[in-house]
Amino acid sequence: VLAAAAIAVFVIANRILYYSAEPEGQKQCPPLFPENADADAATSTATAESWFTSTLPWVQKGGRVNDASCLDSTAVFGVVQVRTENDIKLAVEFAKEKDLKVSIAGVKHSMGGHAFAKNAVVLDMTQFNQVSLDARAKVMTVQTGATWHDIQKFLQPAFAVKAMQSTDIFTVGGSISVNAHGMDHNAGSLGQTIRSFRIILPDGSIRTASRSENPELFRLAIGGYGLFGVILDAKIDVVPNVAYQTARAIIDYTEFPKLFAEKIQPDPAYGLMYGHLSTSPSSFLKEMIVYTYKETSATVNTEIAPLGDEVAAVKLRRLVVNFSKHGPLAARLKWWSEKYIEPRLETCTVKPRAQAQAEGEACLVSRNDPMHDSVPYLRNNLKNDTDILQEYFIPRDQFVPYIDALRGVLRKNNANLLNASVRVVHKEDNYLTYAPADAFAVVLYLNQTTDAAGNEKMATLTQELIGLSTAFHGRFFLPYQLHYTGEQLHTSYPEIAAFFAAKQQYDPQELFVNTFYNKYKSIE
**Residues within the interface to ligand FAD (CB under 6 A):** 68, 103-110, 114-115, 125, 144, 165-167, 170-171, 173-175, 177-178, 180-182, 225-226, 230-231, 375, 378, 389, 479, 514
By Cβ distance, which residue is nearest to ligand FAD?
174
* Pairing assessment for the beta strands 475-476 and 159-161 based on DSSP bridges: unpaired
End-to-end alpha carbon distance in the chain:
66
Q: Give the residue with the Cβ less far from ligand FAD, 302 or 368.
A: 368
Cα–Cα distance list, 150 to 88, 113, 147, 153, 249 (Å) = 22, 25, 5, 5, 31
Helix, strand, coil percentages in the chain from 3-state DSSP, rounded to 5 = 35, 25, 40
Q: Give the residue with the Cβ less far from ligand FAD, 125 or 273.
A: 125
Write out the DSSP string of 455-467.
Answer: HHHHHHHHHHHHH
- Least separation in angstroms between CB 195 and ligand FAD: 17
- Least separation in angstroms between CB 309 and ligand FAD: 19
Answer yes or no: are the C-beta atoms of 47 and 78 closer than 8 Å: yes
- Least separation in angstroms between CB 390 and ligand FAD: 10
Nearest alpha-carbon partner for 194 in 133, 238, 145: 238
Q: CA 86, CA 128: separation in Å to the nearest integer? A: 11
- Least separation in angstroms between CB 93 and ligand FAD: 17
Q: Give the residue with the Cβ less far from ligand FAD, 217 or 410.
A: 217
Question: In one letter, which amino acid is 249?
Answer: A
Q: Give the residue with the Cβ less far from ligand FAD, 119 or 302.
A: 119
Q: Give the residue with the Cβ less far from ligand FAD, 362 or 377.
A: 377
Q: Give the residue with the Cβ less far from ligand FAD, 31 or 174.
A: 174
Work out the number of other CB atoms within 10 angstroms of the CB of residue 409: 14
Q: Give the residue with the Cβ less far from ligand FAD, 180 or 239.
A: 180
- Least separation in angstroms between CB 27 and ligand FAD: 12
- Least separation in angstroms between CB 524 and ligand FAD: 22
Question: In one letter, which amino acid is 399?
Answer: F
Answer yes or no: are the C-beta atoms of 141 and 131 closer than 8 Å: yes
Q: Give the residue with the Cβ less far from ligand FAD, 304 or 422.
A: 422
Q: CA 242, CA 269: separation in Å to the nearest integer? A: 11
Nearest alpha-carbon partner for 317 in 372, 370, 248, 378: 378
Q: CA 120, CA 109: separation in Å to the nearest integer? A: 18
- Least separation in angstroms between CB 285 and ligand FAD: 19
Those residues whose C-beta lies under 8 Å from the C-beta of residue 300, and which sit 6 or more positions away, are 357
> What are the b/e assignments for 15-30, b being 16+ CB within 10 Å?
eeeebbeeeeeebebe
- Least separation in angstroms between CB 190 and ligand FAD: 8
Q: Give the residue with the Cβ less far from ligand FAD, 126 or 302.
A: 126
- Least separation in angstroms between CB 231 and ligand FAD: 4
